[in-house]
Amino acid sequence: MEKKDRSIKDKRYEDKHKAERKAKCMVWGTSVLREKAEQINDFLKRYGFTKVQLIEAGYKALLDDAVEHDTTLAKIVDGYDDFFSFEEVDKKKTE
């Protein structure tokens, strides 16, 4: 009986805080080939990394790569605000 009571309380809590969670975090519903996913999971477990750390490091690596090819993006990332008049600043590139 206590297990059922607990699940009811958990459900109420989840329902009450659903909007707050959705505003704070995003879940990506994506798929990776099983073989690659198992390799990634083994790597993460072996070295003690989380999936969030994997995503953040991957994003940083891709951003660094993009900065190498896009001067305007590089200036935004590096915090420069002295653009030449012919340089168009597109803040959506960094978001």
- What pLDDT score was predicted for residue 64? 87
pLDDT, tens only, 37-61? 999 999 999 999 999 999 999 999 9
- What pLDDT score was predicted for residue 88? 59
Distance separating the N- and C-terminal Cα atoms of the chain:
49
CA dist 10 → 15, 25, 27, 28, 59 (Å): 9, 19, 20, 23, 34
**Which residues of the chain carry a pLDDT beneath 70?**
1-2, 80-95
User: Cα angle vertex 22, ends 20, 28, to 5°?
Assistant: 160
Structural domain count, the chain: 1
Place of tokens 């070295």: 47
- What pLDDT score was predicted for residue 82? 62
- What pLDDT score was predicted for residue 90? 56
- What pLDDT score was predicted for residue 38? 97
- What pLDDT score was predicted for residue 58? 95
What residues make up the domain containing 54?
Answer: 2-94
* Paired tokens of 14: 């989840």
pTM assigned to the model: 0.59
CA dist 13 → 24, 25, 53 (Å): 16, 17, 28
